[in-house]
Amino acid sequence: MSGQEGRLFGVASRPLILCYHIRLYAKGEIKLSNVCDICGKKPGFGFNVSHSHKKTKRRWTPNVHKMRVVVNGSPRTLSVCSKCLKAGKVTKA
């Protein structure tokens, strides 16, 4: 086994990093929703706890917006969380 046989159609399992903070995914790679393309922030999981301590599952989603951002001089549509917007990590197109 040469190591290349484990890959599916030659697509790497990791994203291609072309710019400082931006993760651009390879062709055929599945992009998850509610994930910031700049910092990689994802939903957090936990429980709602009632007064009687009955626990039900819930998730905390990050404040992610789809917007046009300049990447390497050309505009692209990315999912950006509000924390990255406030910090100035992206420039709007």
CATH number, residue 64: 2.30.170.40
Q: Residue 70: give the domain boundaries.
A: 32-87
* 37-42-44 Cα angle (round to 5): 165
pLDDT above 70: percentage of residues in the chain? 66
Q: Could you tell me if residue 59 is inside a domain?
A: yes
Q: Could you tell me if residue 48 is inside a domain?
A: yes
Residues 6+ apart with CB under 8 A from 7: 13
Domain count, the chain: 1
Q: Could you tell me if residue 77 is inside a domain?
A: yes
pTM (two decimals): 0.62
Residue 88 pLDDT > 50, yes or no?
yes
Work out the pLDDT band at 27, boundaries 50, 70, 90.
low
Q: Could you tell me if residue 61 is inside a domain?
A: yes
Q: Could you tell me if residue 6 is inside a domain?
A: no
Q: What is the pLDDT of residue 22?
A: 52
